[in-house]
Structure 1
């Protein structure tokens, strides 16, 4: 016999209108920067266009996976599609790291092989990218605070603003001082920041996908607190995991000190649930036992 319990959580509603506007803005600036890069001969603009294109992909993934996550559970998808957003956050952050590495390689190549470019075009197109991406950042700032997936997309846009600023500074330095290597240096620094910020989301989403115990959870402390409740002899076969960045799950076997009725266990279960509520655990699955299981270890190899 096992008992399970849910605390219902409302899913954060992402503004489809804001995402739609942001996607259109980024498609426009991607095409514009590609044209500007070809006309000016600027590799920096072409690289920034690639970064903007990754923003479009990121936003599309974020929007559709958020819609998927709202679908109801079925017999074949008992958890629904709630993991879709975490998978998207993983893909987005991993993609951003690869793009950042590509930016570094391109920047180093430009240091050794500087090219004369039409700096005026670089400045104008970079400035346009800064304005459009800054508007996009403002549109998504609210959703980014509530949702890991949207935070990943938000970071894409924020770092693209910074990249465009670097491109514009490089254009100004090329125009007035002919300091061509500064553009490459700024690109490398921004790419390193991209890797740092994206790695945090990549690692957080990886831990959820791998069902690692969340860092804020003290397994021993929670288990000991449950064990201290009346009529509970031991807690073992414990598992903690996250379904997404909001919902924390717990399951365990609980040894009872005596053979009790189901109605008595319901009272004990309510007490266990009160303990778990303090740790923001939204779902628990408890298996009561009496003189049944040989292993009393907290974590048991299945």
Structure 2
């Protein structure tokens, strides 16, 4: 069994050998700087979440669809921050007898639920925008302008809080990009408030709301699709299964590759299991296969070797003790 640092276990079923290793993405890895990362995410989450409530309330009071759309967009930021914080917290829990892969898939389950909710919000905003474009309503521009400006300040502060950790943590980096993208929404609402204030063109508000909605929906759909792919144990995005199979088949002595499975437990934790048929298989071939998998960013690898004509039952493997 791997100890989480690349060491390998050898075993056999009577027909072949198995090798098992964890790369840097295994659940046994250390989470350096997790405390600092959690603090950064918590500060940004409190700032953004508090302002989300304020913006949603004032969007209803002012009648601004653009402000409501921006609140919906900010909800995506709050979701991203919360999921990133959840990943840090839950990812620290070790695997146990009930959850042998650990608890990191909680992040994906939460992402799927939130993406479905946000998608519904995005479509509602688009529907409401069409209604208001047909029948424009009066908008209170001054409160709309003030709240949007405050939102811009909150996003700037959140970005400043996260900027220190976005180089060290993919979670923080994704949250940082979410906050930065929300700056566009705040700028759009400010521009809309100024245009309406000086021209009286109330149709600008639902137009901006529709544009923000069109910005939110594709990103939310992408999040939902990626989450469902992980939950369905699909091949992780960015991995070409045919190319991976070809690279494994090209290893010296390999005559067949079968039962190849590649999936993710959560983002950044890719797993692979496969059977390789070879006349002269051994530890060297297992290590070579693990190196191939590593080039595809797969850190948790299980390889079983078989002799030609002995299709192994993947059922029970007996462990060899040196």
TM, length-normalised to structure 2: 0.76
Aligned residues: 290
Q: Is the 8 A contact 2:70 2:209 kept in 1?
A: no
Contact 1:249-1:283 at 8 Å conserved across structures? yes
Work out the CA distance in 2 between the residues paired with 1:174 and 1:39: 17
Query: How many angstroms apart in 2 are the aligned matches of 1:5 and 1:76?
Result: 21
Given that 1:169 and 1:183 are in contact with CA atoms closer than 8 Å, whether structure 2 keeps it comes out as: no
Higher helix proportion: 1
Aligned partners of 2:192, 2:301: CA distance in 1, in Å? 55
Tell me if structure 1 keeps the 8 A contact 2:118–2:220: yes
The change in CA–CA distance for 1:129 and 1:294 in structure 2 (over 3 A counts) is: closer
Query: In the TM superposition, what are the counterparts of 1:56-205 in structure 2 within 5 Å?
Result: 56-141=78-163, 153-154=175-176, 156-205=178-227
In structure 2, C-alpha distance between the alignment counterparts of 1:241 and 1:229, rounded to whole Å: 22
| 1:285 matched residue in structure 2 | 302
- Cα distance in 2 between the residues matched to 1:100 and 1:144: 28
Tell me if structure 2 keeps the 8 A contact 1:86–1:244. Answer: yes
Deviation of 1:23 (Å): 2.3
* Structure 2 equivalent of residue 222 of structure 1: 244
8 Å Cα contact 1:4/1:285 also seen in 2: yes
Aligned counterpart in structure 2 of residue 248 of structure 1, from 270, 291, 301? 270
Ranges in structure 1 where 5+ consecutive residues have no aligned partner: 259-263, 296-302
**Whole-Å separation in 2 of the counterparts to 1:24 and 1:101:** 27
Quote how far apart the aligned CAs of 1:188 are: 0.9
| 1:298 matched residue in structure 2 | none
Distance 1:153 1:87, change over 3 A: farther
Give me the whole-angstrom Cα distance separating, in 1, the residues matched to 2:64 and 2:76.
19
Aligned partner of 2:9 in structure 1 is none
In the superposition, relative to structure 1, how do residues 107 and 228 fare at CA in structure 2: closer, same or farther (>3 Å)?
A: closer
Contact 1:147 1:245 in 2 (8 A): no
RMSD: 3.1
Identify unmatched segments of 5+ residues in structure 2.
1-11, 13-17, 314-322
CA contact (8 A) 2:230 2:266 kept: yes
Q: Which has the higher contact order (CA 8 A, sep 6+)?
A: 2
- Aligned partner of 2:6 in structure 1 is none
1:73 Cα offset (Å)? 0.8
CA drift of 1:294 comes to: 8.7
Residue pair 1:174, 1:180 contacting (<8 A) in 2 also = yes
The reply to whether residue 273 of structure 1 matches residue 315 of structure 2 is: no
Distance 1:284 1:51 in 2: 39
Structure-2 residue corresponding to 1:6: 22
Q: 1:283 to 1:35 in 2, by over 3 A?
A: closer
Q: Secondary structure at the match of 1:243?
A: strand
Q: 1:95-154 CA deviation, whole Å, 9 max, x = no partner?
A: 333222222122222223322233212111111111112322343356567766656655
Change in 2 beyond 3 A, CA 1:285/1:140: same
